[in-house]
């Protein structure tokens, strides 16, 4: 019977020394950090497979590779795994020589893993060592998150046996746990039966073991004598075709169990003798551990590169999504700020209230003549009507609020449409905590506050500019509120972009506002007032829309994608390979 240490090449010759171990440990810890940094939260095509690969690699690093490098001299862990109903628990009990794990008729039987070890080896299996996520217990349990530790003098020092759940269990949690435990094994004792040896799921697990050069021994359990030759021959061919031709195979004949649930000792004598020989031969045991450990490390560095590609793809997808948002909101900011100055607002309610305040017709015509005539005509038009100025202010407030809301809604709709065209964007929009397709619910309130603050700023500008003119007839005639609404009207038409039938009305309204202000402050002062008021309005509109953009950006920032994560992962993998290669070179 050939030991599994012959399976595959064992790189590196003698076990690496302390310096190599320290370098490898550092490299592996960095690789784990790089994998953890390579988040894959976006739903891009093929990402689920890479998420699973990333999880598996982190788990194997934490469950087996890093702890094993830290405790290279720990006992060899043999994990007994395999098909449902193959008799794993009965086999473990029979190998130990007493009942340590509970077999049964109901499936699944083994829910919580059981680890049997020599009492002198207890220190190697503490919470901070192998499989750190599993709580240690000293009693029988069905908790899949617990590892039952069973010290036994019947197990030789240097060897530990772990009974794992079925790899093809009907319960997903059991299958996941079985895969986790098998990935933490120094050696697999893979148990199948004459009835189940050709099942697909176990062979998927064995294929993974072969890819990682894991030491594997096969147990063909509960085999009737008449089927041994046929089944064993076929199983041997299957093993050879899947890269496991050097794995030893043991036959356990079908037979009775005693009252303790144990097979006759002779039925498991070959397996027990082989395990004992490994336990007592430190070099052979170390070779098994090194074969599996080096194979696991090599497989990890090979598997890293598709995950690195996926991490880079995540960054590219996030960049595309961010560009979609920027296009939508840049357009909204431009359109909204343009509309505050091109005469667009000088229509509807604002225009009606302004005309009520200043009058039309004769007053407008009078403004075409010399400024000296303005005083009496304008005083007659506006004197005694302060309520009209307030109505203009209210109309301006409403008009600006609606302007911001309309452009915010349009931007949200454009951004949503763009995101829906990508799997990554649709995945984010489908999240229950994301509500981006409309303007934010408090935007109206924030716009109302911001517009009122701008109106207060305009009022303060007029008041400050007219500090030395408050006693003049013209200032008194218009009042601070009247001059403020005139300044707002001038701001709304400062670029003169409106065209069509409304152009004349908007232009006339703006000219009238300009003349009113110039009559009080002078042309140069009015130009400066209008520029400052326009600039402050644009800043407020931009701030409101930037706040809307920020909701989308916050979702992308919340992904916590790390720039360069893919390349960082490749660098970490190359470092592990370099250390591994260096350790494999002959020592002079």
Q: Is 542 exposed, middle or buried (0-12, 13-18, 19+ CB in 10 A)?
A: middle
DSSP letter for each residue of 93-150: HHHHTS--S---SSSS---S-EEEE-GGGGGGGSTTSSSTTSEEESS----TTEEEEE
Give the tens place of pLDDT for each residue, 172-216: 888 888 888 888 899 999 998 888 787 887 788 888 888 888 899
Report whether 131 contacts 148 (CB < 8 A). no
Q: Kindly state the average pLDDT of the residues 536-556.
A: 97
How far, rounded to the nearest angstrom, does the alpha carbon of residue 288 sit from its chain's CA centroid?
Answer: 38
Q: Quick one: pLDDT at residue 371?
A: 42
Reported for 443-450, long-range contacts at CB under 8 A and 24+ positions apart, including other chains, are 443/404, 443/405, 443/408, 443/544, 443/547, 443/548, 444/401, 444/405, 446/544, 446/547, 447/400, 447/401, 447/404, 447/405, 447/544, 448/397, 448/401, 450/540, 450/543, 450/544
Residues 6+ apart with CB under 8 A from 236: 245, 249
Mean pLDDT of the region 112-131: 86
Tokens 């772990």 map to which residue?
162
Cα dihedral sign, 412-417-420-424: negative
Contact call for residues 159 and 275 (beta carbons, < 8 A) = yes
For the cut 60, the answer to whether the pLDDT of residue 430 exceeds it is yes
Q: Which residues on neighbouring strands pair with residue 499, listed in sequence order? A: none
3-state SS, 41-64, equals CCCCCCHHHHHHHHHHHHHHHHHH
By C-alpha distance, which of 586, 552, 4, 573 is closest to 277?
4
Which strand (E) or helix (H) includes residue 220?
strand 215-223
18-34 pLDDT tens trace: 677 899 999 999 999 99
The span from the CA of 522 to the CA of 515, in Å, is: 9
CB 247 within 8 A of CB 3: no
pTM of the model: 0.77
Of 84-88, 336-340, 372-376, the poorest mean pLDDT is in 372-376
Q: Which pLDDT score is estimated for 370?
A: 39
| pLDDT tens digits, one per residue of 466-487 | 776 665 656 655 678 888 888 9
* Chain position carrying tokens 């599996």: 292
Please answer whether residues 134 and 188 qualify as being in contact, where contact means their C-beta atoms are separated by less than 8 angstroms.
no
* Residues in a beta bridge with 322: none
Check residue 256 and give its pLDDT: 86
Q: Which of 145-149, 251-255, 287-291, 329-333 has the lowest mean pLDDT?
A: 251-255
Model confidence over 142-165: pLDDT tens digits? 888 899 999 999 999 999 999 988
Q: Rounded to whole angstroms, how far apart are CA atoms 111 and 364?
A: 91
Gap between the Cα atoms of 88 and 102, Å rounded: 10
- Has residue 446 got a pLDDT over 60? yes
What is the predicted pLDDT for the residue at 111? Answer: 65
Which pLDDT score is estimated for 469? Answer: 66
CA distances from 417 to 41, 410, 422, 431 (A): 21, 11, 9, 16
133-142, 467-476, 511-520, 523-532: least confidently modelled range: 467-476
Strand 114-117 and strand 159-163: the pairing is: antiparallel
Q: How far apart are CA 404 and CA 411, in angstroms?
A: 11
Distance CA 152, CA 574 (A): 42
- Distance separating alpha carbons of residues 459 and 488, to the nearest angstrom: 10
Contact call for residues 514 and 526 (beta carbons, < 8 A): yes
Q: At what angle do helices 473-492 and 523-557 cross, to 10 degrees?
A: 40
What is the rounded average pLDDT of the residues 385-395? 79
* pLDDT of amino acid 425: 96
C-beta pairs of 144-147 under 8 Å, 24+ apart in sequence = 144/111, 144/112, 144/173, 144/174, 144/177, 146/112, 147/112, 147/113, 147/114, 147/115
Element housing 16 (H / E): none
Q: Distance between CA 576 and CA 25 in Å, rounded?
A: 9
């Amino acid at each position: 019977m050939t030991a599994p240490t012959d399976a595959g090449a064992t790189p590196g010759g003698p076990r690496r020394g302390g310096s190599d171990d320290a370098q490898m440990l550092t490299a592996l810890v960095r690789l784990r950090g790089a994998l953890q940094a390579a988040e894959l939260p976006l739903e891009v095509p093929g990402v689920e497979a890479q998420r699973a690969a990333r999880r598996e690699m982190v788990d194997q690093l934490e469950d087996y590779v890093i702890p094993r490098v830290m405790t290279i001299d720990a006992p060899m862990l043999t994990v007994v795994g395999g098909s449902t109903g193959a008799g794993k628990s009965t086999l473990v009990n029979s190998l130990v020589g007493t009942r340590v794990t509970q077999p049964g008729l109901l499936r699944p039987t083994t829910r919580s893993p059981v680890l049997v070890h020599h009492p002198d080896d207890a220190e190697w299996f503490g919470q901070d060592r192998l499989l750190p996520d599993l709580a240690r217990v000293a009693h029988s349990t069905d908790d899949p998150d617990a590892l039952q530790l069973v010290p036994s003098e019947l197990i030789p020092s240097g060897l530990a046996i772990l009974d794992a759940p079925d790899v093809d269990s009907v319960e997903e949690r059991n299958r996941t746990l079985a895969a986790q435990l098998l990935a933490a094994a120094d050696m697999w004792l893979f148990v199948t039966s004459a009835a189940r040896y050709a099942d697909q799921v176990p062979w998927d697990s064995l294929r993974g073991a072969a890819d990682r050069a894991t030491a594997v021994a096969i147990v063909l359990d509960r085999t009737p004598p008449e089927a041994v030759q046929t089944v064993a021959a076929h199983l041997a061919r299957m093993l050879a075709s899947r890269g496991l031709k050097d794995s030893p195979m043991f036959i356990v004949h079908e037979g009775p169990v005693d009252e303790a649930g144990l097979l006759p000792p002779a039925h498991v004598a070959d397996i027990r003798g082989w395990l004992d020989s490994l336990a007592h031969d430190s070099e052979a045991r170390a070779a098994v551990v090194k074969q599996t450990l080096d194979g696991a490390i090599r497989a990890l560095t090979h598997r890293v590169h598709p995950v690195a590609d996926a991490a880079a793809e995540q960054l590219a997808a996030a960049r595309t999504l961010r560009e979609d948002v920027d296009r939508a909101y840049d357009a909204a900011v431009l359109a909204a700020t343009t509309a505050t100055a091109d005469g667009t607002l000088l229509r509807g309610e604002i225009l009606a209230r302004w005309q009520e305040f200043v009058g039309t017709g004769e007053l407008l015509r009078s403004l075409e003549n010399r400024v000296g005539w303005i005083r009496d005509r304008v005083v007659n038009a506006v004197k005694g009507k302060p309520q009209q100025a307030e109505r203009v202010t209210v109309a301006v407030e409403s008009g600006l609020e609606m302007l911001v809301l309309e452009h915010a809604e349009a931007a949200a709709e454009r951004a949503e449409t763009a995101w829906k065209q990508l799997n990554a964007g649709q995945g984010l929009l489908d999240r229950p905590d994301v509500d981006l397709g409309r303007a934010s619910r408090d935007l109206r309130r924030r716009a109302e506050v911001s517009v009122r603050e701008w109106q207060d700023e305009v009022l303060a500008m007029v008041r400050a500019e007219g500090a030395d003119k408050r006693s003049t007839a013209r200032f008194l005639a218009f009042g601070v509120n009247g001059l403020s609404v005139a300044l707002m009207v001038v701001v709304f038409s400062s670029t003169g972009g409106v065209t069509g039938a409304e152009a004349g009305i908007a232009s006339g309204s703006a000219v009238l506002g300009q003349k009113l202000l110039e009559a009080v402050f002078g042309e140069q002062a009015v130009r400066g007032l209008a520029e400052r008021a326009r600039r402050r309005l644009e800043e407020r509109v931009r701030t409101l829309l930037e706040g809307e953009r920020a909701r989308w950006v916050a979702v992308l920032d919340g992904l916590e994608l790390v720039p360069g994560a893919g390349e960082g992962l490749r660098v970490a993998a190359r470092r592990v390979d370099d250390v591994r290669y260096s350790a494999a070179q002959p020592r002079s």
